Amino acid sequence: MLINKLPLVSVVVPSYNHENYVQETIKSIISQIYENIELIIIDDGSTDSTYEKILEMESLCKERFVNVIFKKQENQGIGSTCNKLINLSSGDYIYYIASDDLAKADAIKDEVLFLQKNSDYALVVGDNEIIDDNGKVSYWDKFRNITYNQDKAYYKTFADFLKIKQLKNNFGTYLYLYRGNHIPNGYLVRKSIYDKTGLYNKNAPLEDWFMNLQIAKYAKIKYLDKVLFSYRWHQNNTIKHSEKIQKLYDLTFQYENILLAKTDFRCVNKEVLNCFLYGKLTKRLILLYKIIELRRYKKNRVKMWVLHLLGLDFIICKKIL
């Protein structure tokens, strides 16, 4: 098939301090079976030689891709960088990859094929194998420490850790994403969905979860049960900093609730409305529980039911044993 008859895919890479890995990442895109690709990389203020390593690949990339854009900027954060990458892209689809991860050779081909055949889906992703600093396939124990013994591994792939198979048809639905992100890495997005969702927002610092929530409001998300990506697990992974991630999660969750309160539910999936109503009901029940509470007491052979209402206590039933 001729390249110009294939949809253009924009592979976007936000890079930061990955001098030891970024060339491997680029090579994994060069090796894609799918042909019609443009490559866009923005280095977000790396303090090592990441950008120099990227530039070393420029001539090879210009031979392989229909368009190549390499830029360097002062550090602005992942959300702002992704917005710039999206705005620079010309493709029908956008493929996201971090500058230390790897894409399997058939990743883009398989994901484009799915979205081409399923117009009601806007995001598709496959499973992730885990690799170490040196690119060796590895696994996680129960505490997400690297192990190389597959028989003793608690999580063999990222999908195992995310419990994706347990989600079944609930994968990628807004209600389940609202509870927490479960989308692996290496996903392909239909670019036109951003006309509905808007781009990344600084008020939602857990940017991947936030954007997945927005996409789920308007379209379906698909998981392909096949390893299409290599997720590198090393000492610099952001996800390892649990306290920081929790703060980012809380801020993102708060902002998403603000957006829900402003959402026009005539334009989104019905389950988004159900999730909103569920959240409102839960808050009201908690408030009601704090105002009205019925308790049972038993002391010194006396059993009674007491109603606590607005700071006042009313004995409903009293019995001497």
Tell me the CA distances in angstroms from 251 to 170, 201, 238, 247, 248, one per residue in order: 25, 11, 16, 6, 5
Q: Is the pLDDT of residue 243 over 70?
A: yes
Buried b (16+ CB within 10 A) or exposed e, 81-111: bbbbbbebbebbbbbbbbbbbbbbebbbbbb
Residue 56 pLDDT > 70: yes
Q: How far is CA 151 from CA 8, 9, 138, in A?
A: 41, 38, 12
| DSSP letter string, 98-154 | -TT-EE-TTHHHHHHHHHHH-TTEEEEEEEEEEE-TTS-EEEE-TTS-EE--GGG-S
pLDDT confidence band for 286 (50 / 70 / 90) = very low
Residue 95 has pLDDT above 70, yes or no: yes
122-141 pLDDT tens trace: 999 999 999 999 999 999 99
Long-range (24+ apart) CB contacts under 8 A made by 149-158 are 155/130, 157/127, 157/128, 157/129, 157/130, 157/227, 158/127, 158/128, 158/129, 158/130, 158/184, 158/185, 158/231
For residues 1 and 28, the answer to whether their CB atoms sit within 8 Å is: no
Q: Hey, what are 31's tokens?
A: 């090796």
The tokens describing 294, both together, are 């019925």
Q: How far apart are CA 81 and CA 86, in angstroms?
A: 9
Residue 105: predicted pLDDT: 98
Residue 298 has pLDDT above 70, yes or no: no
Separation of alpha carbons 148 and 129, rounded Å: 12
What is the structure's pLDDT at 269?
A: 82
Instruction: Determine the pLDDT at residue 1.
Output: 44
Q: Which helix (H) or strand (E) holds 294?
A: strand 292-299
Q: Cα dist. 161→118, 150, 154, 222 in Å?
A: 27, 14, 8, 18
Q: Which has the closest alpha carbon to 114: 19, 7, 20, 4?
A: 7
pLDDT at 174: 92
- Compute the distance between CA of residue 119 and CA of residue 229 in angstroms, rounded to an integer: 23
Count the helices and strands in the chain (H runs, E runs).
12, 13
pTM: 0.84
Rounded distance between C-alpha atoms, residue 293 and residue 281, angstroms: 17
With vertex at residue 207, the alpha carbon angle to CA 156 and CA 38, rounded to the nearest 5 degrees, is 80
Top-confidence residue, 320 or 79: 79
Does 260 score more than 90 pLDDT?
no
Both structure tokens of 314: 């009313």
